[in-house]
Chain A
Amino acid sequence: QQPVQSPQAVILREGEDAVINCSSSKALYSVHWYRQKHGEAPVFLMILLKGGEQKGHDKISASFNEKKQQSSLYLTASQLSYSGTYFCGTGGSGGSNYKLTFGKGTLLTVNP
């Protein structure tokens, strides 16, 4: 079953912050985040493993709450280059890519 992402779309002005949520109805072992710009292939952002860890990548960070079965992606001081569709994927234990199930995506638009 696909994880549920919210919001489906968000529009920001440059410099604003955003949060994208990813929820699963089943137990989470790992959450994989990717970004896809229009007309391009998805690009890896980070993987979070079971254990409630947080990770950072430039001004993009994420948290993983296994009790709530959800992960959140935080985009701070957004830049024009952050525009794209963000996908979360739920994978197996240890960050495995087996049976990786992605959500439907969140379209992020950053305007000047």
Chain B
Amino acid sequence: EAQVTQNPRYLITVTGKKLTVTCSQNMNHEYMSWYRQDPGLGLRQIYYSMNVEVTDKGDVPEGYKVSRKEKRNFPLILESPSPNQTSLYFCASSLWASGSSNEQFFGPGTRLTVL
């Protein structure tokens, strides 16, 4: 089944404890992206990747790191999480980075709580 998977789905952690949220897609998509969703703020892009080893900042990159060593994987790293990073995180992928039918497929989301 074509899909984007994220792990873990739920995570409660403490301030300063490094964590990684994994994202994997099995559709051979070139483009991948991370978003966070907070009540009343909509979806905000954190980082995106146009291809392997090519990443760039979105609107809210502070406090996050990403890497794209393989086409299928795009982990989100929080080196020193803080309470303001408590949020619902979505990973998404699309076949290409642009195009008139450039549908993004979203993962199921990871709910992160930082105490």
Contact = CB atoms under 8 A, between A and B. Distances in A.
A80 B99 CA distance: 31
Contacts, number: 75
B109 to A, nearest CB: 6
Interface string B86-109: 000010101001111111111111
Interface size class of A (residues with CB under 8 A): 20 to 34
B42 A104 contact: yes
Contact of A41 (B58, B99, B101, B107): B107
B44 A47 contact: no
B44 A95 contact: no
Given A41-B90, A41-B109, A42-B90, A94 B98 contact: yes
Contacts of A95: 98-102
Nearest to A39: B109
A43 B106 contact: yes
Contacts of A92: 98
Nearest to B31: A97
Given A42-B106, A44-B103, A44-B104, A99 B45 contact: yes
Given A41-B90, A41-B109, A92-B98, A97 B104 contact: yes
B40 A104 contact: yes
A44 B58 CA distance: 19
B41 interface: yes
Contacts of B24: none
24 contacts: A2-B42, A41-B90, A42-B43, A42-B92, A44-B103, A44-B104, A49-B100, A87-B42, A87-B43, A91-B98, A94-B100, A95-B98, A95-B99, A95-B102, A97-B31, A97-B33, A97-B102, A99-B48, A99-B56, A100-B48, A102-B35, A102-B42, A102-B44, A104-B41
Interface of A: 2, 32, 34, 41-44, 47, 49, 87, 89, 91-105
